[in-house]
Structure 1
């Protein structure tokens, strides 16, 4: 299919207080070999000085629109504002610290054009450290998962959809409403879409996911949001499958919370990490919990020293959810 015949695609970049990283993300969009795009930069009420710099970015390309929320709406609030103004037949979000790799837009759009029942497509990608070095890639899934149980279970357990690689038909958002105002709202949204639409996957790294400072959301809030979303996703499945899947996921939550402990401690946020440690105890046997705790102590201290030496994260580059 010729490029000129491709439908309009909305690339939405929600941002807050990270103008330098935003420029890198924006450049990765501009260099895509796909012209029929609108690029929406949605600033979540950054400080005035930073906003003055961000608002000038629309001079870089005629396809760019820059807007600003009058108050900070949180991460999901900013996503939903983007959905209100996006005009494209397909919509993709790009976090302001991530990057598209060449070919992402064109390859995803082509699959959506050729497969009318695919509502969501995502790709493999690279995890990068604070210095941009590739840590690992992610490879998973079948090319297309049929709508219903298979697709929902994959999203439910693996949680492996790179947010910045997920292109969605606008009609999916129109039919299924906006993102839920919780952390990990994308996890639930993808499962919501998978009830009714096939999920496609390109096994090629087409996005770079950059590590950023851990969110300072209270651990108890993160736990309650996770459990709330888990119950929502379970409600999309047949009743007879829900309890088994719930118990399986609850067993895995200990590892999820330990991952937060590790990241927080590596950043020197000992108190914040310890709050997740206490919650991890609720989902882990005592022997396993102690074993993981000892491993974290041995592993995180030297990593914290390395982190402090190698990273220079500006105060205005922190993530606000």
Structure 2
């Protein structure tokens, strides 16, 4: 069990032209029942009123709000800049379009403290949307309760070994991210020293790739409650990536092949070996060619 104190939690908010929802976002962070927090803002050169709105709120709270100006180098670089400038023992991401439930940090920290070697605690999240398009309906159906998309792994509130996730036969199946977006998780900052930061080469899959990197070494906690709300709208990064037809499955699978293969279920190992093993993949291609 971890030391019984009240550690500082850094609520990390990467921003870029987020004036539409940033006040709602920040107010949800400032309203946490868990009081030992700081807000870390990493701004990618916003040209709208984002920083003005943040500074106005900063003047009216005693909670520390630290603003760092960051040259745009992609979302991963902005996420990592938040982490590197944080002072907390734990990292709680909050994206500029999203909101936290008032007891979000408190409940996640409670599980984090329940036993040792936990690197990540996650929870369910609501969706916020004002439009009811077919694409949003499809997103909700596919990415609703992510923790229910495993095969033999029945996720219940509590803590399990990270390797257990990797052993499930559904690990490679859609949805690829069965943990959730960074807004739905709490991370022990110490784990970045062991496994590195978010992969800045990725645009879409950088969160689930990082979660998988933790799993061989750490335990993972789950809270069976809706502790955050993820906003769906046409301008969000995932929607833009989809419109630009960004698909990182092949890159992600190659990373898994290179780093996680021994931990995976037999069916997942075979799938990756057929794809990337220099001999097996050639045999598969030859068989397809002559069949």
TM interval, shorter chain, is 0.7 to 0.9
SS at match of 1:55: helix
Q: Which has the higher helix share?
A: 1
| Residue aligning to 1:162 | 180
Q: How far apart are residue 76 of structure 1 and its match?
A: 0.6
Question: Would you say the 8 A contact 2:111–2:223 is kept in 1?
Answer: no
Deviation at 1:32, TM superposition (A): 1.1
Tell me if the contact between 1:176 and 1:193 (Cα under 8 Å) persists in the aligned partners. Answer: yes
Q: 2:232 aligns with which of 211, 217, 221?
A: 211
Mean Cα deviation higher: 203-212 or 130-139? 130-139
Pair 1:42–1:64, CA change in 2 (3 A): farther
With CA pairs under 8 Å and 6+ residues apart, which has the higher RCO, 1 or 2?
Answer: 2
- Secondary structure of the residue aligned to 2:225 is strand
* Alignment check: 8 A CA contact 1:41 1:64 kept: no
Q: Cα gap change, 1:218/1:211 in structure 2, threshold over 3 Å: closer, same or farther?
A: closer
Query: Secondary structure of the equivalent of 2:96?
Result: coil
Residue of structure 2 in register with 1:236 after alignment: 259
Give the TM-score normalised by the residue count of structure 2: 0.74
Q: Following TM superposition, by how much is the alpha carbon of 1:27 offset from its aligned partner in structure 2, in angstroms? A: 1.0
Structure-2 change in CA distance of 1:61 and 1:179 (3 Å): same
Give, in angstroms, the shift of residue 152 of structure 1: 6.5
| Offset at residue 52 of structure 1 (A) | 3.4
Structure 1 pair 41–64 and aligned structure 2 pair: CA distance change class (3 A): farther
1:248, CA displacement in angstroms?
Answer: 6.0
Correspondence list, 1:11-90, <5 A:
11-47=11-47, 49-90=49-90
CA offset digits 1:180-227 (Å, max 9, x no partner):
01122011000001110011111111111110222157746x22x332
1:121 Cα deviation (Å)?
Answer: 0.6
User: In 1, distance between residues paired with 2:208 and 2:39?
Assistant: 24
Counterpart for residue 121 of structure 1: 121
Q: How many Å separate the matches in 2 of 1:192 and 1:240?
A: 11
Contact 2:9 2:88 in 1 (8 A): yes
Partner secondary structure for residue 46 of structure 2: coil
Deviation, structure 1 residue 113: 1.2
Question: What's the secondary structure of 1:114's corresponding residue?
Answer: coil
Change (3 A) 1:169 1:69: same
SS at match of 1:124: strand
Number of equivalences: 244
Instruction: Determine whether 1:193 maps to 2:211.
Output: no
Question: Any stretches of 5+ residues in structure 1 without a counterpart?
Answer: 250-321
Trace 1:102-121 onto structure 2 (pairs within 5 A): 102-121=102-121
Q: Displacement, 1:12?
A: 0.3
> 1:170: how far off?
0.6
The one-character-per-residue Cα deviations of 1:6-59 (angstroms, maximum 9, x if unpaired) are: 211111011111123111111111111011011112211101654334333322
Deviates more, 1:98-107 or 1:185-194: 98-107
Aligned 8 A contact 1:11 1:94 in 2: yes
- Alignment partner for residue 163 of structure 2, among 127, 148, 160? 148
Q: Equivalent residue for 1:289?
A: none
Shift in Å at residue 63 of structure 1?
A: 2.1
Matches within 5 A, 1:234-273: 234-239=257-262, 241=264, 244-245=267-268
CA RMSD of superposed structures (Å):
3.0
